[in-house]
Amino acid sequence: MTQTDHPIDTPPRAPSPVHRFGTLAVHAGSPHDPSTGAVIEPISLSTTFAQTAVGKPVGIYEYSRSSNPNRDNFEKAVAAIEHAKYALAFSSGSATTAIILQSLASGSHVISVSDVYGGTHRYFTQVAKAHGVNVTFTPEIEVDISKYIKPETKLVWIESPSNPTLRLVDIRAVASVAHQHGIMVVVDNTFLSPYVQNPLDHGADIVVHSVTKYINGHSDVVMGVAAFNSDSMKERLSFLQNAIGAVPSAFDSWLAHRGLKTLHLRAREATVNATAVAHALEASPHVTAVNYPGLDSHPHRKIALKQHRNGMGGGMVSFRIKGGHEAAERFCQYTSLFTLAESLGGIESLVEVPSSMTHAGIPKEQREAVGVFDDLVRVSCGIEDAEDLKADVLQALEKAVVWPKITNGINGLSTNGA
Ligand SMILES: Cc1ncc(COP(=O)(O)O)c(C=O)c1O
């Protein structure tokens, strides 16, 4: 991409939605079927569409990789709830990241926050370089973005909240510096979902999601999406969507669209649950630190109040447990409602140890520099009942931290006695 055909050539024009979030989630991109009146759209599995003469398709569709009704409807719904003019869906969140990076010309430079999702870090460090795109990471992007900007810098990548340390970035502050240099700003909004945060409203140029998480919300679809306002960006990314072909199936698009219709209900409930769990963790003697943007103790709470709907903290919490990595692993064994598994944002609660699971690929020193210590545990709160989740966390803490001390004590006694 050259300086002249930079995507920020069209002033962002966000459509002004008439309706509120829940109404948009239920109705955007959801036309009744014109032939049968079906209230829920049919799944259009056909890979190809008949033409009445050469180059004259019956409707607007020709071949399903290029576009199909279910993907179109899903994309319209995401655009509506992200306050964007356009949205494009891809076969995964990772494919979305890859395609945005591929849209940059060889020789381009990217500035990224340090604590990005492990797979994003892997793409930035091991794949982007192969097509001539170099990435500089910084843990304090608001402070030192100017220091890293070069003539070749074309893109700034933000994850807010970051995964798994839940640090926040002031999107407006970063975007105002980046835009002075014609640099576009991408925000990975996976951890909050469009219900809690709309990055385009805070100056971002593109917002991306792993749809796999909150937007689909039922842990049964892998998909990604990018939403934005620029016409030239639409042209460029649609071209790559078709040319690379990393597209979601019609069935997955239909499923993800169904999930999206209840996003507001799920995101609210997950926040209620995560808030209860975060407070319980903060009060526990077995925990040394809690990362949750909904807590007043969070170092970026002011940003949450500015950027998140009603200052909501979202459904993700991470914490450092007393007793090191072993205690972190034991905690995951002892929870009964939180399932030990990667991923997040589904209706069911999950738990994981980032240092040996999602972030295992990042070298230890780099991980620890951004707070991903071996004793860090990450939980994704689902939509079960808050009291049950809290009780599950507290009993698992007791077993993971206190039981080994008692067992050691008993062992010690018996040894002494012998
Ligand atoms: C913040 C974030 N971004 C992107 C991704 C990648 O998404 P996917 O797994 O759909 O490729 C993930 C996956 O966990 C993620 O957590």
Per-residue model confidence (pLDDT) at position 382: 98
Task: Verify that 130 and 227 share a domain, yes or no.
Answer: yes
User: Catalytic: 334?
Assistant: no
Task: Verify that 310 and 383 share a domain, yes or no.
Answer: yes
Report the DSSP beta bridge partners of residue 349. none
Task: Verify that 254 and 289 share a domain, yes or no.
Answer: no
The catalytic residue among 71, 154, 167, 213 is 213
**Which residue segment(s) compose the domain that 283 sits in?**
263-414
Tokens representing 28 are 């955007």
d(CA 256, CA 258): 5
User: Catalytic: 65?
Assistant: yes
Ligand 1, atom 6, residue with closest C-alpha: 93
Contact 44, 220 (CB under 8 A): no
d(CA 171, CA 157): 10
Task: Verify that 31 and 152 share a domain, yes or no.
Answer: yes
Task: Verify that 347 and 384 share a domain, yes or no.
Answer: yes
C-alpha dist (Å) from residue 304 to 85, 359, 403, 408 = 25, 24, 37, 43
pLDDT beneath 70, residues of the chain:
1-17, 409-418
Contact 277, 130 (CB under 8 A): no
Q: Which atom of ligand 1 is nearest to the CA of 191?
A: 1
Per-residue model confidence (pLDDT) at position 412: 52
Whether 1 is in a domain gets the answer no
Task: Verify that 234 and 278 share a domain, yes or no.
Answer: no
Per-residue model confidence (pLDDT) at position 409: 64
Q: What angle do CA 269, 194, 274 make, to 5 degrees?
A: 30
Task: Verify that 402 and 366 share a domain, yes or no.
Answer: yes
Whether 180 is in a domain gets the answer yes
Task: Verify that 82 and 162 share a domain, yes or no.
Answer: yes
Final residue of a domain: which of 240, 260, 280? Answer: 260
User: Catalytic: 167?
Assistant: no
Task: Verify that 217 and 361 share a domain, yes or no.
Answer: no
Ligand 1: centre distance to CA 341 (Å): 14
Ligand 1, atom 15, residue with closest C-alpha: 117
Per-residue model confidence (pLDDT) at position 350: 98
User: Catalytic: 378?
Assistant: no
Whether 27 is in a domain gets the answer yes
Give the CATH number of the domain where residue 354 resides. 3.90.1150.10
Task: Verify that 112 and 220 share a domain, yes or no.
Answer: yes
Final residue of a domain: which of 198, 230, 260? Answer: 260
Name the domain count of the chain: 2
The catalytic residue among 188, 205, 252, 375 is 188
Whether 2 is in a domain gets the answer no
Ligand 1: centre distance to CA 93 (Å): 5
Give the CATH number of the domain where residue 249 resides. 3.40.640.10
Final residue of a domain: which of 226, 245, 260? Answer: 260
Ligand 1, atom 9, residue with closest C-alpha: 93
pLDDT digits (tens, 9 = 90+) for 313-329: 999 999 999 999 999 99
What residues does ligand 1 touch, defined as CB less than 6 Å away?
92-94, 117, 119-120, 159, 163, 188, 190-191, 210, 212, 222, 224
Whether 48 is in a domain gets the answer yes
Ligand 1: centre distance to CA 400 (Å): 29
Task: Verify that 117 and 234 share a domain, yes or no.
Answer: yes
d(CA 36, CA 34): 6
The catalytic residue among 86, 117, 123, 334 is 117
Per-residue model confidence (pLDDT) at position 15: 54
Residue entry with tokens 């074309």: 154
The catalytic residue among 61, 65, 72, 301 is 65
Contact 274, 314 (CB under 8 A): yes
Terminal-residue alpha carbon distance, the chain: 76
Task: Verify that 191 and 179 share a domain, yes or no.
Answer: yes
